[in-house]
A and B are shown apart, each in its own frame.
Chain A
Amino acid sequence: MATTLDTSRPQTIVLPRKRGMSKLARREALVAYLILLPNIVGFAIFIILPIIFNLPISLLEWSGFSPLEQAKFVGLQNFVTALNDDLFRKAVFNTLYYTFTSVPIGVALALFFAMILNQKLRGVGVYRTIFFIPVAAMLVATAMVWNWLLDANYGLINFILEYAANGINALLASAHLPIWKYSLPGWTADPDWAMPAIVLVSIWKSLGFNIIFFLAGLQQIPEMYYEAATIDGASRWQKFWHITLPLVSPTTFFVVVIAIINSFQVFDQVYVMTRGGPTHATTTMVLYLYQNAFSFNKMGYAAAQSWFLFILIMLATLVQLYFQRRWVHYEK
């Protein structure tokens, strides 16, 4: 290369590059494209193509059985139908109900346990392992197990609850107080209790997953902040409120964003535990989308619903990105 000969005038080094790539750079680019080729083809066919085609499909009335070319073009009809479909609106409501119960409770519990697990305690490694086991276990299988645990008549959970309630009543009776007339939750058999049952399973399943992030975040807070606060006479609560919470907030933000994206797509546990019932109390957006596509043979309608899901997830993420500067504290 002629450019390397004259090092006293740097502009001559820059100029030839503008005309085109050097032989070496061209070779490097060629190697790069060749190595990337399988990935480019794979991403284009299996990810980008389906994303693009989701739009035209959502404009069709199509059962999935006839050839796609014979499907009827209906414009935005599927989107209008969705907005007027009571069951779709119920699915949106149920999804929001699920998200706004499971995420705050799940994230708060994860931070709480991460703080306990972040101490120098004997056997803390064993606890971490145990907390994480549900994350490794297959969700479909754990949902079946919870279905059994939450069985209204023979489930272990209701047996324990009844045992505890009877114990309380025995105490009340011995103190000559009126006894508590309780009724046990029907869980997945009761429209009011079915969604709490799903939420309970999800929190149990994802607790360890969220704890991992919080542990990593907590370990980055310098110990000296706590030492300084102690010398100033700060209480535990003050230390949590003024040191831990602000300094772990980038992790909290990340965990909340991921948890909300995942929650909007809840499917496995609903499919296994309730199939959306009883009386559609647990029909979530992905479940209804799945049913429309593969049970009711309304492919176009299901594709339109996936756009609503996409918009909801995007909105939720953008709102969080917008509000993060109000509460997320980044180290300078």
Chain B
Amino acid sequence: MSIAEIYVNEPKAHDRARLARVLSHAILLTTAVFMLLPLVWMIMTSVKTEVTSTQIPPQWIPDPFVPENYLKVFNELPFVRFFLNTVFVAIAITLGQLVMCATAAYVFARLEFPGKNLMFILVLATMMIPIHLYLIPSFILMNDLKWYDRYEALIIPNIFSPFGIFLLRQFFLGIPRELEEAARLDGAGYIDVFTKVVLPLSVPALAALAAVTFLYAWNSFIWPLIMISSDQYKVLSVGLTALQGRYVTNWPVLMAGATLAMLPTVIVYIAAQKYFVRGITLSGFGGR
């Protein structure tokens, strides 16, 4: 509500502004409950027994409290292994993308060379073609490289990211050239300028890319579903569907598994919210 509005028709506008505020809060509160309900219900169900989970009317506070469902998840499937695989793969993809995208983005932002525009257009063009459109050739390629059912298949193809290059290039273009030129005059080479001047200034953009990439890597599904067959290399998303196959309607165990798979990214997001938001607005990309 603007000052002008309150000025023009004072008493009425005041009441209306208050009504609008109350209404906004009511709408937001109701929707927030709807947004959180599935996750609250997931955690509640995860500590119920199979019998109490299907009770009508539903039991709001779990009684008896059964944390053993989590042990079941860990014992029946190599869930610890899935968890560690996911951590390893997500971190490896994130670090790999940071190195690959930062170096390429810097070259596109600052250096001049023949074919630069053509190459950058090619990068942008691949951004328009989603992975689902060349899934089968990728699968064949991973087989030919003998990477099928290995970490390499999960990690290496995913460290090349047109989105990441685009995001960081935009950021590098915004850094004043004078800072780099001053360092160059002091005799610093390309690598020194990049690592000692550009990278320290780019921490916010790098964090944004890291946050979004980690989220994407942790949550990705169809790629590991296709590329991995043995439990040794499975990640959580695929492991969850295995859990689903085993405990078809044992909802408490399934919800325990879902909680374990979901919690890390939700916690990381709440801690690093602003980087996620920046990463998503800068690149138009993120969890689907």
Contact = CB atoms under 8 A, between A and B. Distances in A.
B222 A268 contact: yes
Contacts of A16: none
A145 B39 contact: yes
Nearest to B134: A50
A39 B141 CA distance: 18
A293 B139 contact: yes
Interface string B112-141: 111010010011001011101111111111
Given A46-B141, A46-B156, A265 B132 contact: yes
Interface in A101-151: 113, 116-117, 119, 121, 124, 127, 129-142, 144-146, 148-149, 151
A193 interface: no
Nearest to A25: B112
A289 B8 contact: no
A178 interface: no
A139 B28 contact: no
Contact of B258 (A53, A145, A207, A208): A145
A92 interface: no
Contacts of B89: none
Contacts of A315: none
Contacts of B259: 141
A54 B240 contact: no
Interface stretch (B19-27, B72-80, B202-210): B19-27
Contact of B226 (A207, A294, A303): A294
B112 A226 contact: no
A206 B219 CA distance: 14
B255 interface: yes
B160 A272 contact: no
A127 B268 contact: no
B38 A142 contact: yes
Given A133-B269, A154-B54, A140 B261 contact: yes
B273 A43 contact: no
Instruction: Give the interface centre of A48, A148, A290 by most chain B CB atoms within 10 Å.
Output: A148
Contacts of B112: 25, 28-29, 32
Interface stretch (A7-15, A305-313, A323-331): A305-313
Contacts of A299: 136, 140
Instruction: Give the interface centre of B54, B137, B270, B280 by most chain A CB atoms within 10 Å.
Output: B137
Interface stretch (B61-69, B100-108, B166-174): B100-108
A41 B149 CA distance: 22
A137 B31 contact: no
B2 A226 contact: yes
A213 interface: yes
B36 interface: yes
B287 A148 contact: no
Interface string A52-83: 01100100000010001000000000000000
B4 interface: yes
Q: State the majority secondary structure of interface residues on B.
A: helix
Instruction: Give the interface centre of A36, A206, A209 by most chain B CB atoms within 10 Å.
Output: A36
Interface in B233-259: 236-237, 240-241, 244, 251, 254-255, 257-259
Contacts of A36: 103-104, 107, 119
A103 to B, nearest CB: 13
B148 to A, nearest CB: 11
Interface string A266-299: 0110011000000000000010011001100001
A159 interface: yes
A57 B190 CA distance: 43
Nearest to B270: A129
Interface residues of B, number: 94
A130 B35 contact: yes
B136 A137 contact: no
A310 B129 contact: yes
B11 interface: no
Given A127-B28, A145-B42, A293-B136, A121 B270 contact: no
Given A57-B136, A140-B261, A144-B254, A131 B32 contact: yes
A231 interface: yes
B63 to A, nearest CB: 17
A65 B26 CA distance: 58
A258 interface: yes
A38 B126 CA distance: 17
A46 B28 contact: no
Instruction: Give the interface centre of B113, B225, B259 by most chain A CB atoms within 10 Å.
Output: B113
A212 interface: yes
A306 B135 contact: yes
B38 A204 contact: yes
A168 interface: no
Contacts of B240: 138, 140-141, 144, 272
Interface of A: 21, 25, 28-29, 31-33, 35-36, 38-40, 42-43, 45-51, 53-54, 57, 64, 68, 113, 116-117, 119, 121, 124, 127, 129-142, 144-146, 148-149, 151, 153-154, 156, 159, 204-209, 212-213, 216, 223, 226-227, 230-231, 254, 258, 261-262, 265, 267-268, 271-272, 286, 289-290, 293-294, 299, 302-303, 306, 309-310, 313, 317
Given A39-B100, A141-B262, 7 more contacts: A129-B270, A133-B269, A140-B221, A141-B259, A142-B38, A146-B38, A148-B254
25 contacts: A28-B112, A29-B112, A31-B190, A32-B116, A36-B103, A38-B100, A39-B100, A46-B160, A48-B126, A49-B141, A53-B140, A57-B136, A119-B21, A129-B273, A130-B35, A130-B36, A134-B38, A138-B265, A141-B240, A144-B255, A145-B38, A212-B280, A212-B281, A230-B5, A290-B222
